[in-house]
A and B are shown apart, each in its own frame.
Chain A
Amino acid sequence: MLLIRPLSQGDLDDLHGMTEKAGKGLTSLPPNRDLLSRKIARSEATFQEKCEPEAGFYMFALEDSAQKKCVGVSGIEARVGLDEVWYNYRLSTTVNASRELGVHVKTPTLHLTNDMTDTSEICSLLLADTHRQGGNGLLLSRARFLFMADFRQLFSEKVFAEMRGESDSEGRSPLWDALGRRFFDMDFSEADFLSGMGNKSFIAELMPKYPIYLPLLPESAREVVGQVHENTRPALKMLQAEGFNFNGLVDIFDAGPVVEAFIHNIRAVRESFKRHVLVSRQPVNMDVPPEERVMISNRSFRDFRVTTIPASCIKPDTVSIPAEVAEALQVSSGDLVRLSPLKDAAGTRKPARS
Chain B
Amino acid sequence: MWIVRPARHEDLAGIEKLATGHGARVSTLPQSRDKLSEKIDHSIRSLAGDPSLADRQRFLFVLEDSDTGTIHGTAGIDARAGNGQPFYNYRRDELIHASHELDVSKTAAVLYPTHELTGKTLLCSFTIDASLRKTEAFELLSRARLLFIDRHREQFSDMLVVEIQGMQTEEGNAPFWDSLGRHFFHMDFATADYYSGVKSKTFIAELMPPHPIYVTLLSEAAQNAIGEPHDAAARTCQLLEREGFRTGKHIDIFDGGPVLEATTDALNTITSRRYKTVRRGEGSRGLRYIVANGDSEGFRCALTNVSDGLGDVVRVNNEVADALQVVEGDDLVLVAL
Task: List residues of chain A with CB under 8 Å of any chain B CB.
Answer: 94, 96-98, 100-101, 103, 105, 107, 109, 178-179, 182-185, 194, 199, 202-203, 205-208, 210-213, 215-217
Which residues from chain A contact B210 at a C-beta distance below 8 Å?
94, 96
Given contacts A183-B97, A216-B179, contact A107 B184 (CB under 8 A): yes
- A217 to B218, alpha carbons, bound, how many Å? 8
Q: 9 A-B contacts, Cβ less than 8 Å apart?
A: A96-B210, A206-B97, A206-B99, A206-B102, A210-B110, A210-B211, A210-B214, A211-B211, A213-B184
**Bound-state Cα–Cα, A29 to B144, Å:** 73
Whole-angstrom distance from the CB of B236 to the nearest CB of chain A? 30
- Interface: B275 (CB within 8 A): no
* B209, A107: Cβ atoms closer than 8 Å: yes
What's the Cα separation between A206 and B106 when bound, in Å? 8
Instruction: Please pick, from B104, B184, B211, B218, the residue contacting A105 in the complex, using a CB distance under 8 A.
Output: B184
- Which chain B residue has the least Cβ–Cβ distance from A178? B217
A107 to B185, alpha carbons, bound, how many Å?
A: 11
Is the beta-carbon distance between B212 and A184 smaller than 8 angstroms?
no
When C-beta atoms are compared, the residue in chain A nearest to B104 turns out to be A206
**Cα(A215)–Cα(B218), bound, Å:** 10
Stretch of B195-203, B226-234, B246-254 lying at the A interface: B195-203
Cβ-defined contact, A208 with B183, below 8 A: no
The reply to whether B211 and A98 form a contact with Cβ atoms under 8 Å apart is no
Chain B interface, >50% SS class: mixed
Q: Of B102, B106, B183, B187, which contacts A215 at CB under 8 A? A: B183
A202, B102: Cβ atoms closer than 8 Å: yes
> Are B218 and A216 in contact, with the CB atoms below 8 A?
yes
- With A94-B209, A210-B211 in contact, do A103 and B185 touch (Cβ < 8 Å)? yes
Whole-angstrom distance between the Cβ of A194 and the nearest chain B Cβ: 8
Q: A206 — which chain B residues lie within 8 A by C-beta?
A: 97-99, 102, 104, 106
Q: B99 near A216 (CB under 8 angstroms)?
A: no
Least distance between B81 CB and chain A CB atoms (Å): 21
B85-115 interface code vs A (CB 8 A; 1 in, 0 out):
0000000000001110110101010100000
Check B184 against A96 for contact (C-beta < 8 Å): yes
A332 CB, min distance to chain B CBs, angstroms: 52
Extra contacts besides A103-B185, A217-B217 (8): CB < 8 Å? A96-B206, A98-B202, A183-B108, A199-B101, A203-B99, A206-B104, A208-B108, A215-B183
Specify which chain A residues have a CB less than 8 angstroms from the CB of B110 in the assembled complex: 210
Contact B207 A96 (CB under 8 A): yes
Highest count of chain B CB atoms <10 Å: which of A178, A179, A206, A211 = A206
- Report A-chain residues with C-beta under 8 Å of the C-beta of B179: 216
Which residues of B lie under 8 Å from residue A208 when comparing CB positions? Answer: 97, 108, 214
Say whether A213 contacts B183, CB under 8 Å: yes
B270 CB-CB contact with A under 8 Å: no
Check A96–B106 contact: CB distance below 8 A: no
Are A182 and B102 touching (Cβ within 8 A)? no
- B159 interfacial by beta-carbon distance below 8 Å: no
Q: Would you list which residues of chain B between 101 and 133 have a CB under 8 Å from chain A?
A: 101-102, 104, 106, 108, 110
Q: Shortest CB–CB separation between residue A238 and chain B, in angstroms?
A: 35
**Could you say which of B104, B213, B217 has the most chain A C-beta atoms within 10 Å of its C-beta?**
B217
A103-B187, A182-B216 given as contacts; is B99 within 8 A of A202 (CB)? yes
Q: Shortest beta-carbon distance, B306 to chain A, in Å? A: 52
For residue A214, which residue of chain B has the nearest CB? B183
Kindly report which residue of chain B lies nearest to residue A215, judged by CB atoms. B183
Write out the residue numbers on chain A whose beta carbons fall within 8 Å of the beta carbon of B211: 94, 109, 210-211, 213
Q: B207 and A105: CB pair below 8 A?
A: yes
* B180 interfacial by beta-carbon distance below 8 Å: yes
Sorted nearest first, the 5 A-B pairs with minimum C-beta distance are A215-B183, A98-B206, A216-B217, A182-B216, A206-B97
Chain B residues closer than 8 Å to A178, beta-carbon distance: 217
Pairwise interchain contact A216-B180, C-beta atoms closer than 8 A: yes
Q: How far is the CA of A103 from the CA of B204 in the complex (A)?
A: 11
Contacts A96-B207, A213-B209 given; does A185 touch B183 at CB 8 Å: no
**Contact at A202–B206, with CB atoms within 8 Å?**
no
Given contacts A100-B199, A210-B214, contact A185 B106 (CB under 8 A): yes
Chain A positions within 8 Å of B185 at CB level: 103, 105
User: Does B208 interact with chain A (Cβ within 8 Å)?
Assistant: yes
Contact A101-B203, Cβ < 8 Å, known A184-B106, A210-B212, A216-B180: yes
Instruction: Answer yes or no: B186 CB below 8 A from chain A CBs.
Output: yes
- Chain B residue nearest to A102 in the complex (CB): B186
- The smallest C-beta distance from A140 to any residue of chain B, in angstroms, reads 34
Nearest CB in chain B: distance from A74 CB, A = 30
Q: Is the CB of A98 within 8 A of B207?
A: yes
B181 → A minimal CB distance (Å): 11
Q: Once the chains are docked, how many angstroms separate the CA of A212 from the CA of B218?
A: 12
Q: B207 to chain A: which residues have CB within 8 Å?
A: 96-98, 101, 103, 105
Collect the chain B residues with CB atoms within 8 Å of residue A194's CB.
Answer: 102
A309 to B165, CA, bound (A): 77
